[in-house]
Structure 1
């Protein structure tokens, strides 16, 4: 580590980074089993309930652009603590909501606070680690963070059984409070703060987006999350309404998806010891295309077939995020907060688009998902083929001997 953490230590720092990185999946996945129930209890429609997801991601994405540059000026720790305070208050407001409009508004505020946590968490990783060590830490964090989607729906289904969907947001408020305590123990890692004004700090986003090397990789590696968010938005309706599974069985199917996906980063790390990273990424993108075809053609036959197609699709997308984010961050020597904000903003916006597209034909969700998976796989495969041999890619990818 480039900045020692006297209280947390190396293990505690990794635990801290895993916890604060788990905000996006935990905040969305915990209440997925309750989505069909919320349609009834709030006396609304599936489209309106889905807005609590899509609005969250849009607000979350905009919040990233707000907080990322500020973390370069004021430091990582103050921004994270402020964001956590907003998140806890918003989670309580979600729990107290008695109509869909109030819930959507509270989710918007929750997203704004949660975005500060996520953008700072990724910036801290670059503050503390370089090169291959950063890649290992990122892979470890991603693998462990996926535990959240495994546990969250199961916990959500349990809370739904003993209480109501309101309890899920009380649980998120408690999670935010625990994260706040860990943040208090964290030592600031930003060594050189931006000295310009607040307005100029937001202007650093333009500096980052004017880097053609960064933008070309951004166009490739921030599109695949569209398939993940499409599955996230459609999954509960496919399993519960489409296949007739209970909320508890849905949580198990969703946990299986996350369990398989959790192996993605470690599979990438092992393969990269002997196989060129460019080839690994190429194969994973092609696999996504192939799985899209299978999802469209046979995914509707049974929940088990659908599960065994959705899980590897999630795995390959998660696996490519390790080299993808690392490559993008290596294109920027400074402005880490702004670079992370742009990366995550584009990923979240792509995710929000995926959620919208998969819901355009609510009676044909599986076919919609298959089309999205195939289309995204084809697009990123073509774009990756165009840049994978460029110097700014080749020079920033460790050779096989560096991975051993």
Structure 2
């Protein structure tokens, strides 16, 4: 592991920008769905597929960048990915049909996912395990703020300049991030740089990571925690607008309140890690999350649901993700010096892949009530607790 620089603010800001690529590319164009439908004279399902393609590219593309970054360093593969992201964003802005937009969105995801992989890998390269969890908590600010600000910015730009301008903003953001990486990102030298990159060596690297007991334990817990987040996102419109009768403005306010809770928890987590281990914080957070999820299951069966009775447990479940997600990520990546990029890639693909499947399962089980969403969240949280607290061979506390 390389020595951490004395001043971390600039590096963390740059890593935050890389982390922001995915949420900005997803959340900012959501208000444009009706406009896209009108422009291309198509149905809502076709527009929705432009989002699905992005998620698929985001999950699969990470597997490509991890081994490359372990062989060639973090900066060069990242610059290639950012260049692809920027060009693909321009293609999205110029798309003349839904199939063209889907194609460009897929390429945009394949480029942008480099930022997701490299941000985690650089944190693992530069910081020790406990400090890495604190830095990842700082990066959670991005994940919490993006769902609040990106749709607002997207709606304003859409009203004043049209949907193509949204992708123009992403072109500018991608280009600016490319320049910042080229000038300011330290190229942390991976231990495996001298290894020849072959199919066999890549398979061996993924095998080493997948066989590691600690990785399986905490990556699995983190993937299930991500499933909780996606199940909440998928079910939130039904919960707040149909069950609780809130207006779109009220829905946005509740969604923002939950995001603020996630942000606050991630920053409290940074403070706790100065005196407690990541595993201790994680274990307690998961116990509280199980209790909140169980309460949600009980209240979801109520004949006359109330705003505070239902929204309260959901708010607590989402808030506690601010403790769970950064700590599971740091603990999963902690054992890897040689294969940090590969581990980061496998972790990200596992998270997005399982979350996508979980969303499909929850949607298929929908019966017009909150029960499928509530039960799914409880099962995901319970599974995360089982994995995170399972005994593995003794290793130093992190």
**TM-score grouping bracket, smaller chain normalisation:** 0.7 to 0.9
1:264 equivalent in structure 2: 265
2:392 equivalent in structure 1: 390
1:341 equivalent in structure 2: 345
Deviation at 1:338, TM superposition (A): 0.5
Alignment of 1:192-341 (within 5 A): 192=191, 193-203=193-203, 204-235=205-236, 243=245, 245-246=247-248, 250-271=251-272, 273=275, 276-277=280-281, 279-287=283-291, 289-290=293-294, 292-293=296-297, 296-297=300-301, 301=305, 308-341=312-345
Decide whether the 8 Å contact of 1:151 with 1:255 is kept in 2: no
Cα deviation per residue 1:171-226 (whole Å; 9 max; x = unaligned)? 22221112112101123112531422243442211221122332233222212211
Deviation at 1:283, TM superposition (A): 1.6
Residue 354 of structure 1, aligned match among 354, 358, 362 = 358
**Residues 1:397 and 1:153: Cα distance change in structure 2 (over 3 Å):** farther
Moved more, 257-266 or 207-216: 207-216
Deviation at 1:287, TM superposition (A): 3.7
2:49 equivalent in structure 1: 51
**Residues 1:51 and 1:288: Cα distance change in structure 2 (over 3 Å):** farther
RMSD: 3.1
Which runs of no fewer than 5 residues in structure 2 stay unpaired?
none
* 3-state SS, counterpart of residue 187 of structure 1: coil
- Is the aligned partner of 1:370 residue 2:374? yes
Inter-partner Cα distance in structure 2 for 1:72 and 1:268: 29
Q: Normalization by structure 1: what TM-score?
A: 0.85
Residue 102 of structure 1, aligned match among 94, 97, 100 = 100
Inter-partner Cα distance in structure 2 for 1:278 and 1:161: 43
Residue 77 of structure 1, aligned match among 65, 75, 78 = 75
Deviation at 1:65, TM superposition (A): 0.5
Decide whether the 8 Å contact of 2:29 with 2:166 is kept in 1: yes
Decide whether the 8 Å contact of 1:90 with 1:107 is kept in 2: yes
Deviation at 1:241, TM superposition (A): 7.7
Deviation at 1:259, TM superposition (A): 1.4
Moved more, 164-173 or 294-303: 294-303
Moved more, 91-100 or 264-273: 264-273
Deviation at 1:138, TM superposition (A): 1.6
Q: Normalization by structure 2: what TM-score?
A: 0.86
Inter-partner Cα distance in structure 2 for 1:378 and 1:335: 29
Which runs of no fewer than 5 residues in structure 1 stay unpaired?
399-404
* 3-state SS, counterpart of residue 199 of structure 2: helix
**Residues 1:307 and 1:175: Cα distance change in structure 2 (over 3 Å):** farther
Deviation at 1:87, TM superposition (A): 0.7
Decide whether the 8 Å contact of 1:296 with 1:369 is kept in 2: no
Inter-partner Cα distance in structure 2 for 1:340 and 1:289: 29
Decide whether the 8 Å contact of 2:293 with 2:313 is kept in 1: no
1:114 equivalent in structure 2: 112
Number of positions where the alignment pairs a residue of Structure 1 with one of Structure 2: 391
1:401 equivalent in structure 2: none
